[in-house]
Amino acid sequence: MDRKEKQEKIVNMFDEIAGTYDLANRVLSFGIDVQWRKKGCDKAYEILGKNRVERIADVATGTGDLLLHWRDRAAEKGVEVENFVGIDPSVGMLEVARKKVDFAEFIEGKAQELPLEDESTEIISISYGIRNVVDRPEALAEFHRALKPGGIVVILEFTKQEKKGLTAPLVDLYMKKILPAVGGLVSKNYAAYKYLPDSIEEFLTTEMLMEELQQSGFEIKYVKPFSMGISTLFVAQKI
């Protein structure tokens, strides 16, 4: 399977689970993924340091979940955001997003081919999506291109565990056995949630993703692991 076919297969998989995606996320994370997302928004607003933002673009937006947090945290902090954009290659996900989020513009598009003008955006986010981008270096280059100087990229992602600590057996049990079973039950699509732990094993460690961001022209500003290192938040700034 070539890279294009692999990417299309991943997009089709997300089309199939779009209707149950939000419920599965809440169940599988016990609801604490909401706190992770809020933390990413808060850190980005803090580092950007502006009370007025022209555009926030959420890439691989899925059902638009993170856009709700971008709006709510902006209101909480007194930040005015003019334009919210959600970008995703999955038509199924965007159908759900448009019904749920009425304040944003949604565009079908890929992370590695962003439908955004050069230096047009203050914040770009991608939550649990960069792992599914086959051409990741191209996507990071696109983020850099579309961000204004000093703009912020926020990545929330499952990262590969290189060092096996005392909690590793518990993490492995959850990711490889419990997660596929529960996700498959909720979504009626076991293969999609079997893909998740497999894709994490094939993904980068935290250090490797930090290095890729730096090579793409970003300065790392904040890195925070959550839940025994299952999930990691990265906040970086365009140099």
Give 134-158 pLDDT, tens digit per residue. Answer: 999 999 999 999 999 999 999 999 8
* Cα gap 127→105, rounded to integer Å: 18
pLDDT tens digits for range 22-56: 777 777 776 788 899 999 999 999 999 999 999 99
Q: Strand 147-158 relative to strand 218-226: parallel, antiparallel, unpaired?
A: unpaired
Asked if the model's pLDDT at residue 57 lies above 90, the reply is yes
In 3D, which of 114, 145, 161, 157 has the Cα closest to residue 218? Answer: 145
Percentage of the residues of the chain whose pLDDT score is greater than 90: 62
* Cα gap 212→236, rounded to integer Å: 11
110 DSSP 8-state letter: B
Q: Supply the angle between the helices 179-187 and 21-28 in degrees, to the nearest 10.
A: 150
Sheet holding 147-158, edge to edge: 105-108, 80-88, 52-59, 121-127, 147-158, 231-238, 218-226
Q: What is the dihedral of CA 135, 186, 206, 149, to 10 degrees?
A: 60
In 3D, which of 153, 196, 157 has the Cα closest to residue 21? Answer: 196
pLDDT tens digits for range 175-193: 778 878 887 887 888 887 7
**Which residue has 């909690």 as its token pair?**
167
**Which residue has 């980068």 as its token pair?**
204
Q: Strand 218-226 relative to strand 80-88: parallel, antiparallel, unpaired?
A: unpaired
In 3D, which of 91, 83, 88 has the Cα closest to residue 65? Answer: 88
More confident residue, 196 or 215: 215
Tell me how many helices (H) and strands (E) the chain has.
Answer: 10, 7
Three-class secondary structure of residue 157 per DSSP:
strand
